[in-house]
Amino acid sequence: MGKPESEVQGEIVEFLRKTGWVVKVFAWNRSVPKQMKGWFDVVAFKNDMVLLIECKAKGKRNNLREGQKRFHETVRPHTGEHVILVVADDLQQILEIIN
């Protein structure tokens, strides 16, 4: 059985903070207004890079809710070299992006 989403998110957040990233964590049911449905779990900043991270349980990367899919489709065309949108179910995916 894979890691739950909360554990995946915890590992990613801990690593990013230990390596100098400014990290903000959002809970869609508590800290994100309804008009921002689909907002990312984690937003991290370092130098000129911004990571928009949607965390999923291990093996569930493709299990986005409809609101998340629509929001990501809207945002993705505006990301690029310095703003990166990633759906991660493992710390390794983050390491591949930032290294």
State the CATH number of the domain containing residue 41. Answer: 3.40.1350.10
The residue type of 56 is: K
Q: For residue 27, what pLDDT band results from cuts at 50, 70 and 90? A: confident
Q: For residue 8, what pLDDT band results from cuts at 50, 70 and 90? A: very high
| Separation of alpha carbons 51 and 82, rounded Å | 8
Three-class DSSP labels, 6-39:
HHHHHHHHHHHHHCCCEEEECCCCCCCCHHHCCC
Is-contact 90 96, C-beta < 8 A? no
| Separation of alpha carbons 41 and 26, rounded Å | 5
| Separation of alpha carbons 42 and 6, rounded Å | 12
The predicted structure's pLDDT at residue 46:
97
Number of structural domains the chain divides into = 1
Report the percentage of the chain scoring pLDDT > 70.
89
Is-contact 94 51, C-beta < 8 A? yes
Report the percentage of the chain scoring pLDDT > 90.
55
Q: For residue 38, what pLDDT band results from cuts at 50, 70 and 90? A: confident
Q: For residue 93, what pLDDT band results from cuts at 50, 70 and 90? A: very high
The domain containing residue 20 runs over which residues?
Answer: 5-98
pTM (whole model) above 0.95: no
